[in-house]
A and B are shown apart, each in its own frame.
Chain A
């Protein structure tokens, strides 16, 4: 049986409740995220994605319902202390995380979190060195200033800082924004291998439907503060009209396959990758379909 690591139970969140500015950001969220899974959360700007990850990271608490994370339960009555504990086990990589680097050296920056949570100087340093290795940063860089590094390397330093806290869950908020294509590929491969080799639970919030299709086991679609669909990439991307109605971009391969369908090709199963698409095209061209 799969251990249910994270469970949203009728979770709702209202900003400024009881005031004229009351805004309901999340409604009736029921969602299970299994341990060691890779989940993508997609939805247009304002769909509730950011509120959802702030709840997971303990930055907000639900105004209704409850959130179960491992053994702990978070609800409207949870104390700040309980929220802080949550924060320790859930690592979040915000957009442009390199903007938050501040220490003189790479190693100090990465060791800051563990030290702050009570690790000794040498333990924190040890964790920082391990994290550098995990993200593919050479140990030679440890005494360099993070600000001398390239954009891609700075982002790795920021990610190492999150990993040094030894989280069981990693939340990624648009982690490749602003990187060039090679940098984007490398960072996405890094997260995939962390999930598989370090047995992390990965939650990816993204506008890049290609990444969601390629890396996630499960995709959660949000719209107007509600979860409107949960499924495998194939379940989600099989229906381009539904995607458009929910303000989502259609992955390039889905859009391309759909155009070919209108011209007499047929696809089953619906291709998610260029390689799958090419194989099915070949079969049809050779068999005369």
Chain B
């Protein structure tokens, strides 16, 4: 059994609405994979994350985490295995200092003080925020705040890390640094990562993409397959990856272009070869 998360035919609608926010969704997420759940705002992707965390009572279907059925009886058992980082870091701080904040979850588990201090230090070191341990979280930049949030989550040693638009409030520099950090954390702690995003560059880093629209799974595959469907991405309110954008513009200029997915690097190489052929 390699699936760490398995959802079968799940549906959910909010009590005061008639339409399903998620509709008959089925998917599996492999242990150790990075999966991007991609869709525009309001497509149902955040609701899906809440369902995995047992925050919703589903109308239909089942979700299994580590082969355990997500249900009211074992909700705390399930949540121990999942760490969340949300869009707005300001809404997730509870401590007066950065170190207190990272310690919060561990304290709730009644971890002995020495062990806790060790864990907090390690986590802060991992996210390169050790020198900020005694600072007030409010005084940090957006990117630094998300680093602290990640430290707090990673200190709890979850199997699964769910990022709900965790980079969408950051500037491009902050976003890049958080994504790089995620790569490192993922390897070091053998995490399964689920990133819920509408950022197509973030999605490109995943092993697999689930495209969600109107609460339905509309496509699923490796980034190379999904990201070359430019028309479909635009139709779903998303962006086209940069290399593919160039390809589309070249097609408009009546140039023959490769049929496979082109990221920026491959596009540069391909154009260079074309240029050499003309010489």
Interface size on A, residues (CB 8 A): 35
Is the C-beta of A17 less than 8 angstroms from some C-beta in chain B?
no
Is the C-beta of B242 less than 8 angstroms from some C-beta in chain A?
yes
Q: Which of A181, A208, A256 contacts B238 (CB 8 A)?
A: A181
Contacts of A181 in B (CB 8 A): 40, 198, 200, 237-239
CB pair B252 A278 closer than 8 Å: yes
Contacts of B168 in A (CB 8 A): 177-178
Q: Which of B172, B242, B253, B264 contacts A282 (CB 8 A)?
A: B253
Contacts of A265 in B (CB 8 A): 271, 275
Contacts of A118 in B (CB 8 A): none
Closest Cβ neighbor of A286 among chain B residues: B278
Inter-chain CA distance A155–B21, complex, in Å, is 22
Is the C-beta of A288 less than 8 angstroms from some C-beta in chain B?
yes
Is the C-beta of B75 less than 8 angstroms from some C-beta in chain A?
no
CB pair B87 A284 closer than 8 Å: no
Q: Which of A151, A182, A282 contacts B255 (CB 8 A)?
A: A282
Is the C-beta of B41 less than 8 angstroms from some C-beta in chain A?
yes
Interface string of B238-270 (1 = CB under 8 A from A): 110010011001101111000000001001100
Is the C-beta of B218 less than 8 angstroms from some C-beta in chain A?
no
Contacts of A144 in B (CB 8 A): none
Interface string of B209-248 (1 = CB under 8 A from A): 0000000000000000000000000000111001001100
Are A150 and B253 also in contact (CB < 8 A) when A178-B87, A181-B237, A265-B271 are?
no
Interface string of A229-265 (1 = CB under 8 A from B): 0000000000000000000010010001001100111
Interface string of A257-289 (1 = CB under 8 A from B): 001100111000000001101110110111111
CB pair A150 B41 closer than 8 Å: yes
CB pair B246 A277 closer than 8 Å: yes
Are A256 and B268 also in contact (CB < 8 A) when A150-B42, A285-B274 are?
yes
Inter-chain CA distance A275–B271, complex, in Å, is 16
Is the C-beta of A137 less than 8 angstroms from some C-beta in chain B?
no
Q: Which of B41, B253, B268 contacts A151 (CB 8 A)?
A: B41
Contacts of B200 in A (CB 8 A): 181
CB pair A151 B271 closer than 8 Å: no
User: B residues 6-35 with Cβ under 8 Å of A?
Assistant: none
CB pair A259 B275 closer than 8 Å: no
Shortest distance between the CB of B103 and any CB in chain A (Å): 27
Interface string of B26-56 (1 = CB under 8 A from A): 0000000000000011100000000000000
Inter-chain CA distance A261–B269, complex, in Å, is 12
Inter-chain CA distance A21–B254, complex, in Å, is 62
CB pair A289 B278 closer than 8 Å: yes
Q: Which of A151, A179, A249 contacts B173 (CB 8 A)?
A: A249
Is the C-beta of A152 less than 8 angstroms from some C-beta in chain B?
yes
Closest Cβ neighbor of A284 among chain B residues: B275
Besides the contacts A178-B168, A179-B41, A285-B274, what 10 more A-B pairs have beta carbons closer than 8 Å? A150-B41, A151-B41, A151-B42, A177-B169, A249-B172, A274-B245, A275-B249, A281-B271, A282-B254, A285-B278
